[in-house]
Copies of this chain bind each other. A is one copy, B any other.
Amino acid sequence: MNNLKLSGRKPDEARSVIEVGGVRIGEDFLVIAGPCSVETEEQTLRTAEAVRDAGAKMLRGGAFKPRTSPYAFQGLGLKGLKILDKAKKETGLPIVTEVVDTRDVSWVGEYADILQIGARNMQNFSLLREAGKSGKPILLKRGMYSTLEEWLNCAEYILAEGNDKVILCERGIRTFETYTRNTLDLSMVPAVHAESHLPILVDPSHGTGILFMIEPMSLAAVAAGADGLEIEVHVDPKTAMSDKEQQLTPEAFRTLMRRVADLREFMAERAMAEADAAARGDPAAREGVLGSRRDPFADAMD
């Protein structure tokens, strides 16, 4: 982990907090939710309302879709961005959307509150530099083949342009296992917290690609100390134009959010109780601490 001048964590350095639309990312727990692709105005608005009502703090939705085949649905482009803009006005949710071309960074940035750089473009260094120059908050997904060191170096490309608003997102890596779409590597949560001051979200939708795994992996991410989640939700997943298999219904998302919130609350209470015990000099509170900066219970304090 050499040469991470800006993304690396110095001893006793505090974690970064990145404020977007009133959410203090890295401190407040952030859930970004929404459809894989923006398909129609109605689909987007109804999904946006549903995820807001369930407690999501931002809306995701793809207007430019990187697809394996050139003949697959490529997204609505500008039309999709305008739909997202309308959804933002109606729900108040800030928008997270992907940018895939250096030429698009500035104008897509006018619609997006956070620009997402996807797994396939993680080492598109021109795009990283342009994202850095834009000054916009950037959600940088881990490449499906990238090591922690490479990933943090990609954050470094953005930071080196003077933009310190970088949020990382683990979304699964490619392995030999074919049961799941990718192998969600939750060990990156404590690893990023140890090596960097940047916040890290987890995307269990792409990370597993399997509906029934999204909730257990979301709860696991929370318990591991993640700073948030990005989850695909669609008002009517059966009709989705992409990622049909992994988008939650609004109902399933609501249940998931209730459980995530409960787990977060429990962890925050426990962390405060432990801090109190330590302040009172309770010897049990002191022993065996693994290092507070890497401690998921302490991390849970909002």
Contact = CB atoms under 8 A, between A and B. Distances in A.
Interface in A212-268: 212-217, 219-225, 249-256, 258-259, 262-263, 266
A290 B150 CA distance: 33
Contacts of A221: 220
Interface in A48-74: 66-71
B191 A217 contact: no
Interface of A: 3, 5, 66-71, 100-103, 120-121, 123-127, 129, 143-145, 147-150, 153, 156-157, 160, 173-180, 183-187, 189-191, 194, 207-208, 210-217, 219-225, 249-256, 258-259, 262-263, 266, 270, 284, 287-291, 294-297
Q: Chain A: interface secondary structure?
A: helix
Contacts of A180: 187, 191
A290 B123 CA distance: 34
Copies per complex? Answer: 4
Contact of A216 (B153, B157, B189, B258): B189
A223 B221 CA distance: 8
Given A102-B101, A177-B185, A223-B220, A288 B249 contact: yes
A194 B124 CA distance: 31
Given A100-B125, A148-B179, A259-B270, 19 more contacts: A66-B123, A70-B157, A102-B102, A124-B127, A145-B176, A148-B177, A175-B175, A186-B186, A187-B213, A189-B220, A212-B290, A216-B223, A216-B296, A219-B296, A220-B220, A220-B224, A223-B223, A250-B288, A253-B288
